[in-house]
Amino acid sequence: MLNISNINSFYGEVQVLKDVSLHVDQGEIVTLIGANAAGKSTLISCISRTVKSFTGEIQFEGKTISNLRPDQIVDLGLVQIPEGRLLFPKLTVRENLELGSYNKNSRGNRKERLEYVYELLPRLKERSNQLAGSLSGGESQMCAIGRGLMANPKLLMFDEPSLGLAPIVVSEVMKLIRNIAKDGMTVLLVEQNVRQSLKLADRAYVLENGRIIMEGKGRDLLESPEVKKAYLGI
């Protein structure tokens, strides 16, 4: 469904991504793990085209998308839930959610999407008239996920959804991602929380210093001595 081949990206003189290739098939949960500054977020931003300085090819459903604008990427159903939520703090929760369905695919069925999201995340319904800036960390993340779902995505990319959340909320978010995937969503999850995300993943890639150094089934990587040593401290 999503095919990334030989991506190289530079931030000034520094090469952030080195020849990165990966693919996500329909219906999969694929996780990309790695430490801080490994280049995970840069890769997601390349896919969404909010980072433009990269070489290599990105294909979505067989179509090259590495020359499109960010809004055109969203129109295709390739939607990112960004790191740090990036909610619109001075808009209400409801306005935030509604803007999630700005793209051509979901504009027509905004009402149904909103009902679906409210059903999935009833807390957002309670808070719908509150400013997004006043939400707690966990609620903000739920709102960001809800906003992503409003877009009627075919593939949903999560950039560090567990960042800055209490462990119990992290589990809640992971459970939510699992449920969304069960409903048929294809998921690309970028995480630093290695244990939780590998448990969730069908397949996983390990990114280190801008290079993919390992890939495999989520469970297998969880058992691998290298991952255990480098990321789980065992």
Partner 1 sequence: MEQILQVFISGIFSGGVYALVSVGLALIFGIIGLVNFAHGEYLMLAMYFAYWMYNIIGLDPYQSLLINLAVMAIIGYLTYKIIMERVLEADHSIQIILTLALSMVLQNLALMLWKADYRNIRIDMTTDTTHIGFLTLSTPRVVAFVIAIGASVLLYMFLQKTYTGAAMRAVAQNGKAAQLMGINLKRTYGLAFTIGITLVGLAGLLLSPIYPAFPLVGSNFSTLAFIVVVIGGLTSIPGAIMGGLLIGVVESFAGYFAGPAYQQAAYFLLFILVLIFKPNGLFGRS
Q: How far apart are CA 234 and CA 227, in angstroms?
A: 9
Q: How far apart are CA 106 and CA 152, in angstroms?
A: 6
Write each residue from 39 to 78 as x if it is in contact with partner 1 (CB under 8 A), else as -, in one continuous string.
---------x-x------------------xxx--xx---
Burial of residue 140 (CB within 10 Å: 0-12, 13-18, 19+) is buried
Query: Out of 3, 23, 57, 102, which residue is the one contacting partner 1 (CB under 8 A)?
Result: 102
180 sits near partner 1 (criterion: CB under 8 A): no
- Going by the DSSP 8-state scheme, the letter that residue 231 receives in this structure is I
Q: Between residues 48 and 162, which has the closer beta carbon with respect to partner 1?
A: 48
Query: Out of 3, 8, 23, 104, which residue is the one contacting partner 1 (CB under 8 A)?
Result: 104
On whether the CB atoms of residues 49 and 41 are closer than 8 A, the answer is no
Q: Shortest gap between Cβ of 61 and partner 1 (angstroms)?
A: 17
Q: How far apart are CA 187 and CA 7, in angstroms?
A: 20
Q: How far apart are CA 76 and CA 142, in angstroms?
A: 23
Q: Which helix (H) or strand (E) holds 181?
A: helix 167-182
Q: Shortest gap between Cβ of 201 and partner 1 (angstroms)?
A: 23
Q: Between residues 23 and 104, which has the closer beta carbon with respect to partner 1?
A: 104
Q: Shortest gap between Cβ of 103 and partner 1 (angstroms)?
A: 3
Binding region for partner 1 (CB under 8 A)? 48, 50, 69-71, 74-75, 79-80, 82, 86-91, 95, 98-100, 102-104, 147, 151
